[in-house]
């Protein structure tokens, strides 16, 4: 019996030590990348925005309450690869003046969490506050030709932003709260978010691969806006069927 108690205590000590090691390691990684602990609501917002800009969804999760943080971490690899593919293709198309308005809109819809957003803090009182997110929509011209409707799965659209409480088409309000001495963004983490993250994890390669293909084609072969748009539309619509 005494030996059994000793083994149980030893196991608890090992598990506790492992937990502390992983916890401290995460703190060290964040600090090495220049991220601070959120001792104010403004710091939480600034650090979250910085992580989103860098497609570092795992670190962004640190500045969110547990439910939403879990989904950010769950889809971290898929969201990062999808976002980086969008960044690379957008850059190559803009460099060659090949990006049409409809493509801008599709790319905006495919963003896991749109980076072009202004976040302000208000209504701070005791251990609560409020963050206002104002997203910038793509700048488009009404007289450009289009290639028609893009038949894609809505589950892939703005996976991490769609559950937010929008007060108008571009503005969402997110509560904030202080937990264990640090401020967190309290995003909704509903069932729909979990479903979208599941779809993202299962299917993201179907969207990443076509964008990588078109990125290489744009870099290596001169083309027209119409040709690139139609090629991309065909590949992404095929991805939605898989």
Question: And the tokens for 216?
Answer: 């290489």
SS3 139: coil
More confidently predicted of 52 and 5: 52
Structure tokens at 44: 């939480």
With a cut of 50, say whether residue 19 has pLDDT above it.
no
Q: How far, rounded to the nearest angstrom, does the alpha carbon of residue 139 sit from its chain's CA centroid? A: 21
Spatial CB neighbours of 191, under 8 Å, sequence gap ≥ 6 = none
Chain segment 150-187, per-residue pLDDT in tens: 999 999 999 999 999 999 999 999 999 999 999 999 99
Please give the Cα distance from 180 to 75 (Å, whole number).
25
- Contact, 44 vs 177, CB < 8 A? no
Q: Is the pLDDT of residue 4 over 80?
A: no
Residues in CB range of 27: below 8 A, 6 or more apart: none
- Residue 2's pLDDT is 56
Q: Are 218 and 93 in contact (CB under 8 A)?
A: yes
Q: What is the mean pLDDT of residues 68-85?
A: 98
What are residue 134's DSSP bridge partners? 118, 171
Q: How far from the centroid of its chain's Cα atoms is residue 69's Cα? A: 11
If you average pLDDT over residues 202-227, what whole number do you get?
93
Q: Please report where in the chains the tokens 């997203």 appear, as a residue.
A: 135
The predicted structure's pLDDT at residue 203: 96
Tell me the pLDDT of the chain averaged across its residues.
Answer: 89
SS3 category, 225: helix
pLDDT band at 29 (very low <50, low <70, confident <90, very high): confident
Which segments within the chain are labelled E, that is strand? 117-125, 128-135, 165-168, 171-179, 182-185
CA 107, 48, 199, 134 torsion-angle sign: negative
Report yes or no: 128 and 44 within 8 Å, Cβ to Cβ. Answer: no
Q: Give the separation between CA 42 and CA 229, rounded to whole angstroms.
A: 40
Per cent of the chain over pLDDT 90 is: 76
pLDDT value of residue 18: 46
CA distance 96 to 111: 22
pTM summary value: 0.85
Q: Which residues is 165 bridged to in the sheet?
A: 173
Quote the pLDDT of residue 36: 86
Residue 12 has pLDDT above 60, yes or no: no
Tokens of 2: 């005494």
Cross-strand bridge partners of residue 64: 185
Report the pLDDT value the prediction gives residue 223, as an integer from 0 to 100.
84
């Amino acid at each position: 019996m005494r030996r059994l108690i000793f083994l149980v205590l030893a196991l608890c000590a090992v598990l506790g030590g492992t937990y502390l090691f992983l916890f401290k390691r995460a703190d060290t990684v964040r600090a090495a990348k220049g991220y601070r602990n959120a001792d104010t609501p403004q710091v939480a917002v600034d650090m979250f925005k910085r992580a989103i800009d860098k497609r570092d969804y795992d670190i962004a999760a640190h500045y969110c309450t547990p439910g939403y943080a879990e989904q950010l971490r769950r889809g971290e690899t898929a969201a990062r690869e999808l976002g980086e593919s969008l960044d690379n293709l957008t850059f190559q198309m803009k460099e060659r003046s090949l990006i049409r308005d409809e493509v801008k809109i599709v790319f905006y819809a495919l963003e896991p969490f749109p980076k072009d957003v202004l976040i302000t803090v208000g209504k701070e009182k005791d251990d609560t506050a409020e963050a206002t997110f104002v997203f910038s929509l793509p700048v488009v011209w009404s007289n450009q030709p289009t290639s028609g409707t893009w038949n894609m799965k809505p589950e892939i659209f703005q996976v991490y932003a769609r559950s937010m409480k929008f007060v108008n088409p571009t503005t969402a309000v997110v509560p904030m709260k202080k937990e264990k001495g640090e401020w967190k963004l309290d995003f909704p983490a509903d069932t729909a978010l979990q479903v979208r993250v599941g779809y993202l994890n299962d299917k993201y390669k179907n969207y990443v691969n076509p964008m990588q293909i078109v990125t290489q084609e744009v870099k290596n072969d001169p083309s027209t806006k119409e040709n690139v748009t139609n090629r991309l539309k065909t590949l992404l619509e095929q991805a939605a069927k898989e």
